[in-house]
Every structure is written in structure tokens, then in C-alpha cells.
Structure 1
Amino acid sequence: MSFSDKDLSQIAKRGSNINVVKQQIENFKTGFPFMHVIQAATIEAGMIKLTDESKAEYIEIFEKEALKKKLLKFVPASGAASRMFKSLFSAKDEGKADKSVDQFFENLKSFAFYPSLVKVCKSTEKQDILKGLLEADGLDYGSMPKGLLEFHGYGDATRTSVEEHLVEGALYANNKGKVRLHFTVSPEHKKKFKELINSVLKTYEDQYQVKYNITFSEQKPSTDTIAVDMQNEPFRDASGNLLFRPAGHGALLENLNDQDADVIFIKNIDNVVPDHLKAETVIYKKALAGVLLKIQKDIFYYLKRLEKPEVSVYMLNKALRFVRTSLNVEPPKGFRAWSYDDKLAYALSKLNRPLRVCGMVKNVGEPGGGPFWAKNSDGSVSLQVVESAQINMGNKKQKEIFENATHFNPVDLICAVKNYKKEKFELLDFRDSKTGFITEKSQSGKSLKAQELPGLWNGAMSDWNTLFVEVPLITFNPVKTVNDLLRKEHQPA
């Protein structure tokens, strides 16, 4: 694949790497291999179920250790809310009303944003209400990010989802009154996020007796992927320029990689609840962080001993048993016949990696990924978050394993990204670049193929040490459509 000087200049200005761009084009031609899942991770196989006693122990570990740790709450918040209002857009633009539109109007007064909506509407006619909600001369919710929408009502006051994350941060990402939050936002909305947060910050600092340190980042243009036409040739716009597209949430790995923290809580912007339901979320966030810190302490114990000049066979075997039974990593076939040196190198490589503890809820039919045992490129088998698009649904056995999963991934992650010497891992080194996605899109009426980078919590973290912990369903309350805000979990007590 050859590029013109104009192409090379465009690629360089974006901060993209020409070899990476060429590899992306090659990926379109060859496709991405499917993941090979061995079985679903369940309570009986690979997933931790906390008892009341163990939960209390892990919370105690976290609360004690947190005083010495740099905590961070990392919230992907760049997603637009437009998909939340898909049916309302159809009603406004095409006059199409379905059951969800009827439900919206029947329960209009139950939405936290109702008082704000009334102020911008010209009349109580349905079209005027839809325009007032969605268009720029009204609330402009049709083009706003989810983080800036009024989600919950508190008497005469309301809270946006970004404010609910401020409150959550004070409740579990709090080290001696200091709360650090990082939001990934889109460039066009960054100013609005800052204005909103600045307007409410003192209120929450006074209410929770904390000081916030809030930072923002944007998805880097260099992480965008090149688009191709249906013949896998670079897609060009009307001016002949190459077309690059945002590469999904996997691009946020670079934003995460830029953060400096010992414990990082990751949770999506729309997964929040009002105060009267926050207790379970806080309990399990702390418990999962305790699990993380306990297992990290054990990992560091073995690493320090394995890096000594002389390592006994006994200690090596003990470490290998820990990798297999506590970190859930099964070695490749023929491992027993490996030499002492090869086994030691294997143990060190499997121990010295970023670590994550993932909360998993019982499967209630939500679309998306879940927890599985999967085969890795080095022949080992480990716990992975696997999306449906990564599974060969044409293979009856693989499809059956995926569909019989008992749990679902709600994106509830606690991460540790430093080694035992307190040095940051280079997170991009632990990504499986062969776990991307290819989708078909269109631009100016022309079909094209787009490529997403390995997802943030699946392929982007495939070489991390991973633990799965069951968490209650009440901790998972995403808002995918506007009517989700009518569910009792998003309504006042």
C-alpha cells in the first residue's frame, strides 16, 4: 500500500504512525480472528462470590490501605446522548410514534428534566415538547453528552449524571478528604462540562467535606483508525483526503495510560443511581478494591522472591500454583516438560502485569459481553471479558458457551497499573491488537468499512491479570434510552 506525499503529511499531522495505518488496512483484508472461549466463568469456575464476612474483611483492607494510596475515579463520558432519544427523534422528524414515545409522554412529569423542559417549550403540544427537549433553541438534549443531562430529582433540585459521579467519588474514591476524578470528554463539550462542574463544585465539597481534583482528557486523534471502501482501499472524502474515524472506547486506553494512580475505579457515565440507592454501590466498590489490594500484595510477594539471584524449585512451584489457582491462568499444553528457566520466565511474565478486578452481575439478557475462560495466543487459558462480536456464532459449540453464560459485564472495574517497584506499566504493551472489530458504515451515501480498536475492558486489557467478582444487580443501572430514567432505580425514594 503506497501513500502520496499529501497522505503522509495528513497522517503525520494527526500524530498517527504510518506503519500502524498500514496494519489497519491489512486488518481489513485479513479480518480479526475470533476468540476461542473454553467455558463461561461462573461461581463454580473462576468467579468470586463474597460472603458478608469476606466483604467486611475486604472493605477493612481497602479503608486501611487507601490512606497510603493515590486513588482515581476514571469515567468515560464522551458518549453522545443522541441514541437515548432515537424514538423521540423519529416522532419529531417523521411523525412516527411507537409505544416508547407514548410511555414518554404519559410519564413526562416523572423525568427530572421536566421543570427545565417546561421553561423552554412554546406550548404543551407534543411537537413543541419534542423540539424543546431535543433542539438547540431548547434543552438541546439531542446533541448533548449523557453526562450533562438531568438524571435524578431531589425535591426541587436535580442532578446530572456527572454530578452523581462527583458524589460517588466522595463516598469511595476519597483519600483523607481528597477526591480525584478524571472524565474523558469530546472536544466540543469540554467547556460545558467544566462550566457545570465549576458551578456545583463548592456545594458538593461543603456537603461531603472534601476537596475535588478534577481533570479531563479527549480521545486522541492519533487513535482514530483509517476507513476503507468495500474493496479495502483507503476511503477518501470529496477533497481526496483520507478518512479517519474514532476507534471506539478502546482508544481510551491511551487516556487511561496517561493517569497516575495506585487504584483506579472505572465506571461508565450513565451507570448511576440516586442517593437512596447508593449504599450497595459504595459497599461493593470498596470490597472490590480490597480484593484488588489483597491479591496485589500476594503478587508482589512472589515477584520479590522470584527476582532474587537464586530461586528454589519449591518457591517457583509455589508461585506457579498461585498463578494457576489465584490468578486463574492455566499454562499451555506441555508446560510440565519446560525447563526450570522457561518456567521461571513464564511465572515472572504472568505475575508482572497490570491487575484488574471486575464486578459481574447475573445475566438478565442485556446485550454485550461477559466473563469467560478463553485461550490466549501463547497457549495459556485465562479469564477474559468477551463481547458477542468476538465469538464465532457460526460455530455451534462456541455460540452455546456464549449464550449459556450466567453473568454479564456491567463495566465495573478496579485497576492497579503499577508494578511492585511503584513504576507505571506501559498499558499498550498488554493489549491484544488482534481483538479489534470491523463494522460497515456509510459516508455521504457511500459504503465504507470502519475499524474499532480492541475494547477497553476486553482486548485492550487481555494481558492483564483478571479477577471476576459477583456484584448485585442493583449496582448496574445504565441509561440506554430516555425511558430508562422512569425505572424505579432512577426515581426518587
Structure 2
Amino acid sequence: MFTEKNLQQIKNHGLSEAKVKHQLEIFKEGIPFANVMEPASADKGIEVFSEKEQQHFATLFETEKDKLDILKFVPASGAATRMFKFLHQFLESYNPKDNIESFLQKEENRNLKIFFESIDNFAFSFLVKDKLEEKYSELENFEQGKRYFLFVQEMLEETGLNFSNTPKGLVPFHTYGENYVTAFGEQLYEAAFYAATNGVANLHFTVSEGHEKKFKKRFDEVKHLVEKKTGVRFNISYSFQKNETDTVAATPENELFLDENGDLLLRPSGHGALLENLNDVDADIIFIKNIDNVVSENYVETIAFQKKVLAGKLISLQKKIFSFIEKLHLENPSEEIIKNVAEFISVDLSIKNTPIFKEDLLKILERPIRICGVVENTGAPGGGPFLVKDKNGNLSYQIVEMSQIDTNNPQQKALVDKATHFNPVDLVCGMRNYKGEKYDLLKFSDPDAGFISHKSYQGKPIKALELPGLWNGAMANWITVFVEVPLITFNPVKTVNDLLNEVHQPK
């Protein structure tokens, strides 16, 4: 199947021939869709806390946190390219000699109109304008269309600020006085409010290898300012998506895809590959959130309170679980203990078909724990909480991505349409067992929860294999609890115009 050149390529990539063959088999056999039974909803798979309960959990976390190792884990490898998609299209389609007003009146250019009308409200605006004024002494005399064109060019292209090839985490998001702050900087500031113990906040960013120096440089630039502002010291670590998590591409006929040089096309396998990175870090509690889900500092205390609520719920749940595990490890636990554990699993963990034997109960309890914040649906696409039946008939609540659901099946589509909540990647994770030992997270992933996508390479159609996503399939066999959190906790920046939303604008 493989040439000597292919085999050497596989070896150099940290993969094995058997692993690549297995990936090819997955293309041929396909990946089964998730069997969704019903969407989770308030008080049916999703816990909704009263203000009093929220305060209780936040206080519990505050009381316990300085005894714990806490880490904030931030996937941050994405480039900002997609954030500026409509601006790239502007550079391709607009002739600076044309009338800009007429151009912006077209319905397809609505986002551009919003962008240019609000141009001074972007944190990067003054950086771009300063650069343009250095280059063009007559800038103010240019036609407005030409000025807009040069502004976008200066923003995106390599000869300017090169935002297209900048990590999303390093694009200026907010301004305070004369200083701009990136998403990376806001993640640091926010961490000081809930992820700091004994005056130190530990953060881990997964970045592209070529971007690590840029993140380190930015940290050096803002370290003194953010530490002075928060009174917290920051300990930052970085990792890269591992080459050995890449997957081979296939032709539409499920044969190996070879490029113009006869080489295999090996591709990053989605954020599920970051399970390896998460498994390499160690802490009692890990907060996980995406790099672009930040707010301006006016709203940080509100966000931090919700994080403390989730972490307090985790600590409360862990105490109960660890206590039950210790009792079950007694030589002959009483029938009453068995009954109490089974009831706890059924009621508190929402796990159906609860077993009645000690060994089976221990299997359920001796797993990593995650508390997942979920928000009410706003029409935004994303993974949602559903009750799922696995191939063995077991029922459990899971985060399920839309790509895992057969929406061509009318019954499954109807269940998706009834969903009330989705998961904005707002996780608090318990990573150690009752003895304080670190779990091997690779043992708790569901290999069947990946998916096959259709892409292209240099104009040729290919099939790509994505590993089980970090917060869905990669954590499918964790203890999972869903908690409703307010919509203000979800503020991703998918396009540049999202930065005009209230939570990204300084008061």
C-alpha cells in the first residue's frame, strides 16, 4: 500500500503504518452518527441554580481554592483569517476608483457597511491609521473609497500589520485609554479573578509552533501592567498540537490521497487532538475556554462569579463522589451504601440504567469529572447537551456536535430543533482521583465520536478525518454535569464586527 517514501514520511511524522491503515479503514467503514434520544433541558439533564445556590457554590470555591492546584487551559492556535473573511472579499471585489457609497449599499456588503461606519470603535483602528499616515502624507486628500481600501490592506496584508496571519489571540480586541488589549491579554486579566491561588495564576495556551514567540513577546510587553493591575503573578506555559495526532487524507473513493510529489497528505485532526495536550498538564482543577471568548474588563467580575459557581459545584460533587468511592472500597460495603450510591448516580449524575454491583458502581464513579456551563440557544451553531444512547444501550448526557447527528433523519432533526441550550466551551474539570492521582485522559475518549468531512486540496476533493472533539467525543466517558449559565458568559469573536458588541466596547 505504501511506498518506501510514504513509510519514511509516516515514521518522521511520529505515526505508524498500522495507525494510518486504521485511519483509512475508518474512511471505508464510515463513522456512525450519535444516537440522540432527547435534548437536555432545564431540570432534565441541566441544573439551574437559584441565586442562593450560586452564592453557596461560589463561596465554597473561594474557601477551598488556595488548597488546590488550579490551571486555566486555553486553545489558542487559530489564526484570525476567518475573522476577516468579508474584508478579504472587499480587497478582491472593490476597485478603489469606484463609488464606495454605491458599493456599500448592496445587500451582500452589509457587513462592510457596518465595519466602515464603526471604524473608530475597533481597538486596532489607531494602529492602522498611524501606519497609513507614515506611508501616505496626502492620505486625507484621497477619495474615501481609496482610504477604506488602503485601511483594509494595511490591516490584513504582510506589508502592513498582517492580521490575516496573526493568531486570533494577538489581534487587538479592546482599548483602555491609550493601550490596546488582545484576547490573550484579557484571558490573563480574567484568570486573576478566579484561577489564581496564593497570588499566582497558572495558564496554559495551545498555540501553533510558529506563533509561540509572538505570544511570549506579547506577554513580556504586558506582564508588568497586568500584574500591577491585578496583584497576581502569572505563570504561562505553551504547547503545540502534536504531529502524531495528524490524520491521513483520502480520495472520495476512500483510497490514499497522494499530492503532486507522491506524498501522503497528513492534516491536523481538529481540536480533538488537544486531548493529548490536556493530558500532559497536571492540576486538581482545570478551567477550559476558547481564546476569543472574552469580555472587556467592565464585565469580568460577572464572568468570574459564574466560573466560581461551576468550580464550586465541581468541588461539592467531588467530595460526595470521593466519599462514596472510599466507602465502596471497604471490604464489604453495606446494602444501604450500595443503595445510596446507586441513587446518587441516578439522581445527581443523571445516569440511567444504574447498576447494583459494587464493581460497576466504582467504574461509573472513578472517572474524571467535568461541569459544563450551557447557555440558552440563540441560533448560534455549536455543540449541545443531549441524552445519547451508545452502542451498548447505555444512556448518558453528552455534548454532541451537529456534525455527529444525522440531520437527514427526520426524527433526529426534530430532536435537534427542540434543543434549548448549547455548550459555549465553558468547562471546569476535575482531573485527579480520590487519592490525588492524575487520570490518564486518553482512556476516557470515545473513538467512535469523530467525523469525516469533505475538503479540497489544490482544487481536488478529499476526505478528512477529525478526531473526537475535545469537549464532546474526547470527554465522552467522563462524569458530566450540565449547569445553566447566563448568556453574558458567551461572547465569541467569529467575525471582526462581533467586536462592536457591547461587552467588547469600553464604557
Range class of TM-score, shorter chain: over 0.9
Structure 1: segments with no counterpart, 5+ residues: none
The one of 107, 120, 136 aligned to 1:109: 120
Task: Supply the distance in 2 between the matched residues of 1:280 and 1:258 (Cα, whole angstroms).
Answer: 31
1:213 deviates by: 0.6
Q: Is the 8 A contact 2:193 2:301 kept in 1?
A: no
SS at match of 2:375: strand
Task: Supply the distance in 2 between the matched residues of 1:29 and 1:78 (Cα, whole angstroms).
Answer: 30
Task: Supply the distance in 2 between the matched residues of 1:171 and 1:137 (Cα, whole angstroms).
Answer: 39
1:313 deviates by: 2.4
Deviates more, 1:144-153 or 1:93-102: 93-102
Q: Is the 8 A contact 1:331 1:379 kept in 2?
A: no
Q: Is the 8 A contact 1:58 1:290 kept in 2?
A: yes
* Residue-by-residue CA offset, 1:362-410 (whole Å, 9 max, x unaligned): 1010011111111123322111001111111122121111111111111
**1:363 aligned to 2:377?**
yes
**1:135 aligned to 2:157?**
yes
**1:8 aligned to 2:4?**
no
Q: Is the 8 A contact 2:41 2:421 kept in 1?
A: yes
Structure 2: segments with no counterpart, 5+ residues: 95-102, 140-145
* Residue-by-residue CA offset, 1:184-224 (whole Å, 9 max, x unaligned): 00011111111001111111112211111100000001001
Deviates more, 1:375-384 or 1:278-287: 375-384
* Residue-by-residue CA offset, 1:262-298 (whole Å, 9 max, x unaligned): 0000000000001111121110000100000110111
Which structure 2 residues correspond to residues 475-490 of structure 1 after superposition, within 5 A? 475-490=489-504
SS at match of 1:434: helix
Task: Supply the distance in 1 between the matched residues of 2:148 and 2:58 (Cα, whole angstroms).
Answer: 50
Task: Supply the distance in 2 between the matched residues of 1:361 and 1:164 (Cα, whole angstroms).
Answer: 21
Task: Supply the distance in 1 between the matched residues of 2:49 and 2:336 (Cα, whole angstroms).
Answer: 31
* Residue-by-residue CA offset, 1:309-340 (whole Å, 9 max, x unaligned): 212222122111111111111127xx6xxxx6
Which residue of structure 2 lines up, in the alignment, with residue 459 of structure 1?
A: 473
Question: Which letter does structure 2 place at the counterpart of 1:455?
Answer: G
The one of 403, 410, 425 aligned to 2:424: 410
Task: Supply the distance in 2 between the matched residues of 1:490 and 1:229 (Cα, whole angstroms).
Answer: 43
Task: Supply the distance in 2 between the matched residues of 1:206 and 1:104 (Cα, whole angstroms).
Answer: 34
**1:397 aligned to 2:411?**
yes
Which residue of structure 1 lines up, in the alignment, with residue 86 of structure 2?
A: 87
Which residue of structure 2 lines up, in the alignment, with residue 353 of structure 1?
A: 367
Which structure 2 residues correspond to residues 18-57 of structure 1 after superposition, within 5 A? 18-57=17-56
Which structure 2 residues correspond to residues 49-68 of structure 1 after superposition, within 5 A? 49-68=48-67
1:20 deviates by: 2.3
SS at match of 2:41: coil
Task: Supply the distance in 1 between the matched residues of 2:464 and 2:112 (Cα, whole angstroms).
Answer: 32
1:236 deviates by: 1.1
Question: Which letter does structure 2 place at the counterpart of 1:405?
Answer: A
SS at match of 1:374: strand
- TM-score normalised over the length of structure 2: 0.93
The 3 A distance-change label for structure 1 pair 298 and 377 is farther
The one of 318, 340, 354 aligned to 2:340: 318
* Residue-by-residue CA offset, 1:55-107 (whole Å, 9 max, x unaligned): 11101111111111000000000011100111100110232861111111111
Which residue of structure 1 lines up, in the alignment, with residue 442 of structure 2?
A: 428
1:6 deviates by: 2.5
Q: Is the 8 A contact 1:77 1:183 kept in 2?
A: yes
Question: Which letter does structure 1 place at the counterpart of 2:71?
Answer: L
Which residue of structure 2 lines up, in the alignment, with residue 155 of structure 1?
A: 177
1:3 deviates by: 2.4
**1:246 aligned to 2:257?**
no
Question: 4+ residue stretches of structure 1 with deviation over 3 A?
Answer: none
**1:376 aligned to 2:416?**
no
Which residue of structure 2 lines up, in the alignment, with residue 69 of structure 1?
A: 68
Question: Which letter does structure 1 place at the counterpart of 2:503?
Answer: E
1:472 deviates by: 0.5
Task: Supply the distance in 2 between the matched residues of 1:265 and 1:472 (Cα, whole angstroms).
Answer: 17
Which residue of structure 2 lines up, in the alignment, with residue 284 of structure 1?
A: 306
% identity of equivalent residues: 46
Q: Is the 8 A contact 2:454 2:463 kept in 1?
A: yes
Task: Supply the distance in 1 between the matched residues of 2:379 and 2:205 (Cα, whole angstroms).
Answer: 29
The 3 A distance-change label for structure 1 pair 188 and 365 is same
1:456 deviates by: 0.6
Task: Supply the distance in 2 between the matched residues of 1:206 and 1:438 (Cα, whole angstroms).
Answer: 47
The one of 225, 231, 235 aligned to 1:213: 235
